Chains A and B, each alone.
Chain A
Amino acid sequence: MPPPSSLKQEFLKKWMMGLHICSSSKKNMSILERKKAIKLSADIALASARNGTTCWSQAIIVNASQDDQDKILVQHVLGRESERLMKKGSVLPLTSNKRIRSRKILRRSCGSIRRRARKTIATSPPKVVAISIAKKLIRKRTQLLKRLVPGGKFIMDEISLIEETLDYIISLQAQVDVMRSLANAS
């Protein structure tokens, strides 16, 4: 399912707005400065298209607001919503209303658990071993995913994490599509 064109249009509009603001505030930028402005405007535009309804979009907004200069850009692009969204506590931390699974992602493993697990693996039938290895892989990869999605470290349960990831990927695809069409426009 390709990203909806409404999302791309919203992104493009906000991105252009951000870039105009950046260029009007600083006339002769170096290539590196311009690249940072392009990228920052793109990320803020993406986040504003969700208007703080997702954890990842709020994380981007909050992170950008930490810097005084970037904060101005956030305020302009987001308009009236910006004050509410820049406050860290309003959406994060995010937990799903649904039941939090008992098989937890955030289990700390200490040496004794690992030793016990190794003994269990040595004495268990292969199917049980395969399942426990699969669980370990899932845990490890879920941790990785939490680091890749903005604000992921605030998401407590698997279901919210996957929902956020789905929305984040669709948004990223829209961002890449629009930026690529512009770069190829010749």
Chain B
Amino acid sequence: MSSRRSRSNQQSSTSRITDDQIADLISKLQQLIPELRGRRFNKVSASKVLQETCNYIRNLHREVDDLSDRLSELLASTEADSEQAAIIRSLLM
């Protein structure tokens, strides 16, 4: 009887520790995402944080893609007056 009680106590205290760990990690995530950063003192739900995280990562991927496009076009530019192309070209290639 007593062993059962102590086992269930142990189980609930360990899962409470992992709950806290996860809540802590989710709040760290919240602070990284610009959309949610200002709302630190209002509790944002975990599922909202995850949703915004996915959106944010997708946006970052898209931005890297756009920037790669821009950089490759800049490098292809053969305009005589395009100074930035010359700078970038000398830096990159």
Contact = CB atoms under 8 A, between A and B. Distances in A.
A35 B53 contact: no
Interface residues of A, number: 44
Contacts of B80: none
Per DSSP, are chain A's interface residues mostly helix, strand or loop, or mixed?
Answer: helix
A98 interface: yes
B67 A142 contact: no
Contacts of A101: 15, 18, 22
Contacts of B75: 34
A13 interface: no
A182 B71 contact: yes
Interface residues of B, number: 44
B39 interface: no
B70 A175 contact: no
A176 interface: yes
A172 B73 CA distance: 22
B86 to A, nearest CB: 11
A38 B72 contact: yes
B26 interface: yes
Nearest to A142: B50
Q: What 8 A-B pairs are tightest by C-beta distance, nearest first?
A: A186-B84, A141-B50, A35-B72, A137-B47, A34-B72, A179-B67, A162-B25, A39-B68
Interface of A: 1, 16, 19-20, 23, 31-32, 34-35, 38-39, 42, 98-99, 101-102, 134, 137-138, 141-142, 144-145, 148-149, 158-159, 162-163, 165-166, 168-170, 172-173, 175-176, 179-180, 182-183, 185-186
Given A102-B15, A159-B25, 12 more contacts: A19-B93, A31-B72, A35-B69, A38-B72, A39-B65, A99-B18, A134-B46, A148-B61, A169-B29, A169-B56, A169-B57, A172-B64
